[in-house]
A = this chain, B = another copy of it.
Amino acid sequence: MSKVSFSEEASVEVVTESFADTPDPRLKHILTSLVEHLHAFVKDIEPTEAEWEQAIGFLTATGHLCDDTRQEFVLLSDVLGVSMLVDAINNRKSVAATDTTVLGPFHMVESPPRDLGANISLDGNGEPCVFAGQVRSSDGTPLAGARVDVWQANGAGYYDVQQPDVQPERNLRGLFETDERGRFWLRTVVPRYYPIPDDGPVGRLLTATKRHPNRPAHIHVIAEAPGHASLTTHVFVEGSPYLDSDTVFGVKESLIRPVTNVDDPARAEHYGIANPFRLIEFDIILDPVRP
């Protein structure tokens, strides 16, 4: 026994020493940091053996619920704010650029390329509206040919992949390209707030902590343009319930937009919608990639 024995005091030293020969320095750093923080957590809460067994059971149930269409560990990361934290760390940006927020678990299928003005609501479930904006570089230059990937839940609060027997395939998804002035526009429906799946361990956690499972109404956007950093965000609908208590902490005030009523026959014709119409406008500012 040349080494230090395990004890409360020596626990971090003993366990990090076991990772001393890890060839990949990044993996070694991650595991060393994990052991430091995980042991500090255990020492802080001093779990009983029964509480430790509950934790093992919770993680096991979370794993068992994961399959091709349900990712309960992503939900757990979401409701603990870890997903937003990883997003924040990976998207430090200029003041000018549009704020980012989480990707979410529903970008699991590719959005189909569509022409500007197309209607992505294939089931007609929800209140029709236009979603339009301009993509610009952080110096104000309009970005022609930028790609704008859009997806959202329908008027009942469900994504197509959650209701494969009800909604048409690729309902409420579209990949658009901005025009020569950097503009995009499309027809859709006003999104609705919805609960994250709450019939599993994460739902039980929310119930036990008196948290609701809801996300405020939003449209997902990924914007990309040559020479610019890709941007993943949402636009949130002003006035939606749960804007001040999004269960995944995704809301940023800068991303909230009203649904306005527009009475303008020329614009209605441009958008291919009956006048008057409802409109959500959202301009997107991208940072150039540093050389």
The dominant DSSP class at the A interface is helix
Query: Which of B21, B24, B59 is within 8 Å of A59, CB to CB?
Result: B59
Query: Which of B37, B49, B56, B250 is within 8 Å of A71, CB to CB?
Result: B56
Copies in the complex: 2
Interface size on A (CB < 8 Å)?
77
Question: A1-18 vs B: 1/0 string, CB under 8 Å?
Answer: 111011110010011001
Question: A26-42 vs B: 1/0 string, CB under 8 Å?
Answer: 01111101111111111
Name the B residues within 8 Å of A106 (CB-CB).
none
Name the B residues within 8 Å of A63 (CB-CB).
59-64, 66, 73
Query: Which of B39, B61, B62, B80 is within 8 Å of A85, CB to CB?
Result: B39
A-B pairs, 8 with minimum CB distance? A63-B63, A15-B81, A37-B41, A21-B210, A22-B209, A6-B249, A60-B66, A8-B88
Instruction: Given contact pairs A22-B208, A33-B45, A56-B73, enumerate 7 new A-B contacts (beta carbons under 8 Å).
Output: A6-B250, A8-B89, A14-B249, A21-B211, A31-B209, A34-B41, A37-B41
Q: List 23 A-B contacts (CB under 8 A).
A: A1-B256, A5-B251, A5-B252, A5-B253, A6-B84, A8-B88, A14-B81, A15-B80, A18-B249, A23-B210, A27-B208, A28-B209, A33-B41, A33-B44, A33-B45, A36-B41, A37-B38, A37-B40, A39-B81, A42-B85, A42-B86, A60-B66, A63-B73
